[in-house]
Amino acid sequence: IDRVRRVVDAARIGGVAIPGARLVELGPGHTLGVAVSLALGGASRVDALDTVRYADARPDPRSFTELWRRCTEAGLVDSIRVTDRDAALARAARRVEYQVVDGQKPWPFPEGSRDIVYSFSVLEHVRDVRAVLEESSRVLRPGGLSIHTIDLRDHYNLGPGENWLAFLEFDDRQWDRMTSARFAWCNRMRAPELRTLFGEVFEVVEFTEEAADLPPGFDRRRVAPRFRGFETDELAVSSVS
């Protein structure tokens, strides 16, 4: 629900109404809950794109019953105006299209055909972020929105007391050799790099950095040359949105 609110709030700030909107979700993973929630909120279509199949392309609408409860409690769906919950879930599920695409090819949408492209904890796993942003720009209509939350932490060290900046100690060649075949590989882009990149592709309406305390075991002297030009407070940014 927090992710749905993030899209709804960002759309409101950007002047795009969810009812009637055409959205693209990047990397939904195993659940289509965000996409179905936005369809319940009135989106006319949500295309959910993955490069590997994780989710059921045609889920049973009844599997979203708990999602319905949470959406109504959060005020995202007006349950008073809906007399048949199961029918509403079925309609919403039909407006969600799950597709597995080739990450090296253009998305299967015409230019300027979508209102919003969004993702959560996905772009840190993308090797060519610029290409993804440029493809987003291609399919978005003028005034459309690109909404993303990006986790900047080391996904192999997220436990309590672990050093979530440990991956900055390796140069690119070492890092790829260690992790390129594993699902938690990250591109290790830092907040200033992402801010610059988004600004080169889009007009940035909002760019929020969330900082965290430096983790135990972090030693700035050990970071790889690629990251030595960043200030300590820049390295302490754990996510951007």
Query: 81: pLDDT confidence band, cut at 50, 70 and 90?
Result: confident
pTM passes above 0.85 = yes
Checking if the pLDDT of 82 tops 90, the result is no
**C-alpha to C-alpha distance for 204 and 190, rounded to whole angstroms:** 17
Average pLDDT score over residue span 161-179? 93
Kindly state the tokens that stand for 31. Answer: 């659940």
- Of 54 and 23, the one with more pLDDT: 23
* pLDDT, the chain, mean: 94
pLDDT over 70, % of the chain: 99
Position with higher pLDDT, 239 vs 82: 239
Q: Is the pLDDT of residue 109 over 80?
A: yes
| CA separation for the pair 168, 62 (Å, rounded) | 44
Decide if 184 contacts 155 (C-beta within 8 A).
yes
State in Å, rounded, how far the first CA of the chain is from the last one: 16
